[in-house]
Structure 1
Amino acid sequence: MSGRLLPCSAKEIAGLFLFEELSVEQLGRLCTDGQVELFEPGPVYTEGDPATCFYVMIEGTVVLSRRVGGDDVEVSRTSQPGVYGGAMQAYLGDRVRQVYNNSMRVTVPTRFFVLPADTFATVMREWFPMAVHLLEGLFFGAKNTQAAIGQRERLLALGSLSAGLTHELNNPAAAAVRATAALRERVAKMRHKLAVIAEGPFSRDQLANLIEIQERTAERVAKAPSLSPLEAADREDAVTDWLEDRGVAQGWQLAPVFVQAGLDVDWLEQVAAAVDEEILPGAVGWLNYTVETELLMDEIADSTTRVSRLVDAAKQYSQLDRAPYQVADVHELLDSTLLMLSGKTGPRIRVVKDYDRTLPRIPAYPAELNQVWTNLIDNAVCAMRTADGEGTLTVRTALHADRLLVEFRDTGPGVPAEIRDRIFDPFFTTKPVGEGTGLGLDISWRIVVNKHHGSLLVESAPGDTRFQVLLPLTAADADGLPLIPTPEEQT
């Protein structure tokens, strides 16, 4: 945008605090290379456009705003002469992207001293060489430091997740190894029992009955009901009495196995009716090996299935085999993150999933949203552990107006009111030294707000802290890619 040109008075611009220490010659050069422009109410420049000019207000009222999602959010409004904006990083040249980092408009006719960006950069280097070096050092030093610590934050999270995943994988893998060793022993005993039966005085019909009973028993094991401890104890007592009444040795050892497999007295009565009384103890022993074998194979199947599910969760979490930007189901992302962090939550923290499964899939960067979930869950768990080590983490999804809500609620001590406005600041942390970098919430805010055009809010009271992520249901633009510059570009 351009305003109406007006005469430039060196005496007038000398009254602006930015130029008050300049010499007469320097003020003259500014008036020669720059110009005074009058802008009528309306926009002066727009965020994201190439930064071509440096503006210093002489008189009037300016409003600065930043784009968040599809909205322009006002960040300041002032009538103070001398306020400035525009190409304030021009002295850095092409080392950073030279765009306007905010939008400026005026609400009344407003006069500006306007200096082209190239002239502003030249003046800065010639008149303030030491200041320029200091500013460059501060700018790039802060940027590099933040990048390095951000990388450390990701590595710490990866190390924590890897440790948790290793622990989670070790449990089912060890269970499968133990079950395999026990299965080998049971199969050996079954072969021995089969040899004993084959050498015994059993007719072809009796052997056929035993095989049929074995098949029906295996089917019964696959459909075993889930019993309460009291129900299981009562059934074990009944089965033990039945076995002892029929002369089956060590019935008290067989009863728990039979009950776990879903066998009861009625089933044993059917077995007794199908074989002669003299071979009943042998038949029961044969069925015991069958049941144990089936249970061990179920345990192996459960363990290997859990290993497979953990590997799938790791792939879902990392998104290594998927496009960076895609239409995703937030519930799949949440489930994979919770599974990856299950070792960290532990048994004393209860996790409640309150999902609205009718919510649509949304365009997103899934791997980066998983990083947000990780940061928010980790903070919630740490907060509850600093209290009494116990608590409840509730993960809720819902439709909130025209956005998708993901809420993480914990029962920790809460965020004190005096620091609530600072928790999203880079490097701010309440964790002990060495346990936090202070970038988790900052990174989360950048991902949610800058990359997804969403919002990240917090509500907190003792025993009830809620971090709420609001995400758009549709793509930010035709290509699905955000147009907001990164915070590094905004600096």
Structure 2
Amino acid sequence: MIQLEELREHPLFADLSEALLQWLCEQLTEVSFAAGEVLVRQGDTASNFFVLLKGEVAATTLSRGQQIPTLRFIAPSYFGALALLSGTLAPGSSRAVTDGRLALLPARAFRELVVGSETFSRFIFQSSFDRLTNLEATLRNREQLAALGSLAAGLAHELNNPAAALVRTADRAMAALTTLKAADVELRNHAIPVEAMKILEGLGDRREVTNVMSGIDALKQNQAMDALGNWLVAQGVAKPWLHAPCLIGAGILQEELGPLAIVLSKQQFFAAIHWLASTLELNALMADIHVGSVRISEIIRAMKSYSRMDQAPKQEVDIHEGIEDTLIIMQHRLKQGITVQRDYDRSLPPLTVYGSELNQVWTNLIDNAIDAMDGQGDIIVRTYREIEEAVVEITDNGTGIADDVMPHLFEPFFTTKPLGQGMGLGLDISYQTVVNRHRGALLVSSRPGKTTFQVRLPLAAKPGQT
């Protein structure tokens, strides 16, 4: 049994009467623990209040597959009050850092002590409030960092695809340029007539991807290449399979090449086809390089705009730009099976807001919509003006939100996701940003097949808003 003297020296029980201390001794069970031992597991039912008599214990919370450090208890201390007071499951895990000793107070006895001792209850509630405040602040920061890390990983993937393609295409373009130089020398050596050269240059200037072959299926394109290849063989062109794909890709068929075959010798015609195919290939590769470069530039621009780099925290913004930047940043999640429909009221005036914080709101709401549909479905983003408010609605066609979940939706740490897949702070952060930060409103309506989160923002700053 724990000695009364040891309880008197513990700050938690210093002001208890002798009678309560004696009663407490009878309720407590002493246990020893070893370094590394798990004392509480996240998600367990809270059944004891833990009085730390000796040693050190670290608390962590599992989120996105990682154990995040939250609190550290060094004897004399305590833990486990939050879950008992709120009647919830353990919000995190506790693991021994060193060897030590604990006194376990059953949940029933803990509640009796809270009711029976004003001094103890005041101490517990005050210290629990302080811990919860610190814990919430810590986890908010970590949740935002974790979300940023997830976005960064997605952006890295999105940037890697066009960047890798650019490297491959640039290598091919260098080889194509070498081939084109040789073809150009060959063309000049065969003294191609001026009129024929004009026809060749006209055909070589075709850079549009949309051509007569773009709407034809792969089978018919292959048949067209075979037919053109056979015709080129008949005209004395060697290795026609190297040239036919480039010609067909640009929509150049036998009918356009026929006049050249008539006026040119076989050697001249072969040189002309070699030059034309090389020119078209290099044009196509340069077009691919342009597309890849534009994509990379678009992602970088969106990333800079999304974070509002080099700008004051509060600025005048077009909310549509913020939404579009968010959709670009989240493309790695959307492209797996999500269709986004836009219904924008472009007449909405710019809003004076904390741009990067609002972008985090769009991120959280879109991310939740994707999860609600298991990555497959439709999202509708709608904006409109209602009196003196700008309204943004994000609607998904997922399963909907259960009635018993709805009242807790914006509570911190509340989540319906499996353990470790989220801290339950995304919607809370969004609510704080919209309501407290911008004096707006965040509303939700839901039924199976249609869930809508509605963000309402004042068009002009309200009194007291900073």
Same fold? TM cut 0.5: yes
Pairwise CA distance, 1:427: 0.7
State the match for 1:279 in structure 2. 268
The 1:420–1:157 alpha-carbon spacing in structure 2 relative to 1, beyond 3 Å, is same
Change (3 A) 1:303 1:226: farther
1:108-139, Cα deviation, whole Å (9 max, x unpaired): xxxxxxxxxxxxxxxxxxx9766654443233
**Does residue 1:301 correspond to 2:290, yes or no?**
yes
Q: In the alignment, does 2:342 pair up with 1:359?
A: no
SS at structure 2 position matched to 1:482: coil
Task: Report the counterpart of residue 410 of structure 2 in structure 1.
Answer: 424
Q: What is the alpha-carbon distance in structure 1 between the residues aligned to residue 263 and residue 459 of structure 2?
A: 64
> C-alpha separation between the residues in 1 aligned to 2:403 and 2:289?
51
For 1:59-458, list aligned pairs within 5 A. 133-199=123-189, 202-203=190-191, 206=193, 208=194, 212-222=198-208, 224-225=210-211, 228-230=214-216, 234=220, 237-238=223-224, 240-242=226-228, 244-246=230-232, 247=234, 248-251=237-240, 254-269=243-258, 271-272=260-261, 275-276=264-265, 278-385=267-374, 389-458=375-444
- Any idea what the Cα deviations from partners look like across 1:298-318, whole Å, max 9, x if unmatched? 111111111111101110111
CA positional deviation for 1:394: 1.7
Alpha-carbon distance, 1:178 to partner: 0.7
| Contact residue 369 and residue 447 of structure 1 kept, 8 A | yes
| 1:296 counterpart SS class | helix
User: How far off is 1:382 after superposition?
Assistant: 1.0
**Structure 1, unaligned stretches of length 5 or more?**
1-126, 484-491
Shift of 1:438: 0.6
Compute the TM-score of the two structures, normalised by the length of structure 2: 0.68
Task: Give distance in 1, aligned partners of 2:369 and 2:455.
Answer: 14
Q: Check 1:379–1:215 CA distance in 2 against 1; reply closer, same or farther (3 A cut).
A: same
Match of 1:461 in 2: 447
Indicate if the aligned counterparts of 1:224 and 1:260 stay in contact, CA closer than 8 A. Answer: no
* CA positional deviation for 1:214: 5.0
Conserved 8 A contact 1:238-1:265: no
Distance change in 2, residues 1:270/1:318 (3 Å) = farther
Shift of 1:344: 1.7
The alignment's TM-score, normalised by the length of structure 1, stands at 0.65
**Partner secondary structure for residue 326 of structure 1:** strand
Structure with the greater alpha carbon radius of gyration = 1
- Residues 202-236 of structure 1 show CA distances to partners (whole Å, capped at 9, x for unaligned) of 23x53x55654454234321474385542675466
Going from structure 1 to structure 2, the CA distance change for 1:482 and 1:269 (only over 3 Å counts) comes to farther
Residue 185 of structure 1 aligns to which amino acid in structure 2?
A: A
Q: Is the contact made by 2:186 and 2:271 (CA closer than 8 Å) also made in structure 1?
A: no
Q: Deviations over 1:166-207 (max 9, x none)?
A: 0000000011011011111112222232333344xx23x53x
RMSD in angstroms over aligned alpha carbons?
2.6
Whether the 8 Å contact between 1:223 and 1:262 is mirrored in structure 2 is no
Q: State the identity as a percent.
A: 38
1:209–1:275 contact (8 Å) kept in structure 2: no
